[in-house]
């Protein structure tokens, strides 16, 4: 969305802390920078892991965008992992040092300009499909069936329901682009998905390099055989 920088756009997610970050980016970018700075500046006098565990404990006590922002920049591999039973974020601290506040500030300034015409909503994706009108474009990046069963609360998501909505959207002239599982293991394995015949008109494979999720699962082992490609499916012709 930032690349497109639309004249009119909507960004949505069911996870409230994530949308709080984007709403703050649009409405009060200075406050968003302060969210990050208040936590990142603690590294000047505190141990990195201790700061991380403190912020994570605060977040797990009360899910909120300010804590979540720092966790996304400092957790292992940028991988957000939740327990299904209670929503507890369990990702450990990353080996890297979170980016400096000034670097984050520059990124916020750039992104706030790009996203100034976007309305961010904390709603289920099904509501977004209901809102869409002929000629609109919806980009979907759902949890991936073959790699993200432990992430983002993904266990409750059903791909079949999304595919059904994409079919309905197509029938009323709404364009949909879907990113989903493609090839794994250096392209030798094609992820099998329940995609109805004729639903999509175009298919592309986009190389995303080595899998950070597999690095997490394999505890730092080498990943020469873990090159993956995502599949980009369009329900319309380019």
Q: What is the DSSP string of the chain?
A: -TTT--SSEEEE-S-HHHHHHHHHHHH-HHHHHHHHHHHHGGGGTS-HHHHHHHHHHHHHHS--HHHHHHHHHHBGGG--BB-TTT--B-PPBPSSPPPPHHHHHHHHHHHHHHTTTEEEE---HHHHHHH--TT-EEEE-PPPTTT-TTBTTGGG--HHHHHHHHHHHHHTT-EEEEEEEEEETTTTEEPP--PPTTS-SEEEEEEEEE-HHHHHHTTT---TT-EEEEEEEESS--
In terms of Cβ atoms closer than 10 Å to its own Cβ (0-12, 13-18, 19+), residue 123 is middle
**Percent of the chain whose pLDDT exceeds 90:** 70
The confidence band for 218, taking pLDDT boundaries of 50, 70 and 90, is very low
Asked if 40 and 104 count as a contact pair (C-beta separation under 8 A), the reply is yes
Question: How confident is the model at residue 229, as a pLDDT?
Answer: 81
Question: How confident is the model at residue 223, as a pLDDT?
Answer: 41
Question: How confident is the model at residue 85, as a pLDDT?
Answer: 79
pLDDT, average across residues 5-20:
95
The confidence band for 224, taking pLDDT boundaries of 50, 70 and 90, is very low
The confidence band for 52, taking pLDDT boundaries of 50, 70 and 90, is very high
Cα–Cα nearest to 163, from 127, 193, 134: 193
Phi/psi at 152 (5° precision): 55, 25
Each residue of 141-185: pLDDT tens digit?
998 775 555 555 555 788 899 999 999 999 999 999 999 887 655
Other beta carbons within 10 angstroms of residue 193's beta carbon come to 16
Q: Which domains does the chain have, with CATH numbers?
A: 13-119 (1.10.1020.10), 124-234 (no CATH)
Whole-structure pTM value: 0.86
Question: How confident is the model at residue 185, as a pLDDT?
Answer: 53
Question: How confident is the model at residue 211, as a pLDDT?
Answer: 54
Show the tokens assigned to 127: 């509501």
Higher pLDDT, 228 or 22: 22
- Pairing relation of β-strands 118-121 and 175-184? unpaired
Each residue of 89-123: pLDDT tens digit?
999 999 999 999 999 999 999 999 999 999 999 99
Question: How confident is the model at residue 156, as a pLDDT?
Answer: 72
* pLDDT above 80 for 212: no
* pLDDT above 90 for 219: no
């Amino acid at each position: 969305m930032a690349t497109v920088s639309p004249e009119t756009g909507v960004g949505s997610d069911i996870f409230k802390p994530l949308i709080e970050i984007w709403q703050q980016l649009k409405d009060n970018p200075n406050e968003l920078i302060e969210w990050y700075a208040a936590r990142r500046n603690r590294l000047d006098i505190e141990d990195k892991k201790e700061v991380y565990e403190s912020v994570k404990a605060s977040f797990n006590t009360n899910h909120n965008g300010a804590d979540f922002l720092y966790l996304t920049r400092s957790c292992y591999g940028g991988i957000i992992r939740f327990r299904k039973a209670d929503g507890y974020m369990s990702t450990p601290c990353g080996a890297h040092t979170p980016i400096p506040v000034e670097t984050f500030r520059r990124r916020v300034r750039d992104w706030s300009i790009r996203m100034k015409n976007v309305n961010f909503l904390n709603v289920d994706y099904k509501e977004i499909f209901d809102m869409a009108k002929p000629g609109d474009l919806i980009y979907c990046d759902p949890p991936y069936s073959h790699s993200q069963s432990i992430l983002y609360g993904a266990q409750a998501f059903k791909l079949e329901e999304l595919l059904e909505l994409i079919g309905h959207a197509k029938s009323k002239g709404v364009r949909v682009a879907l990113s989903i599982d493609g090839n794994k293991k250096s392209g030798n394995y094609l992820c099998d998905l329940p995609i109805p015949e004729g639903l999509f008109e175009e298919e592309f494979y986009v190389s995303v390099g080595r899998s950070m999720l597999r690095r997490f699962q394999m505890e730092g082992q080498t990943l020469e055989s873990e090159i993956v490609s995502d599949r980009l499916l369009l329900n319309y012709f380019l």
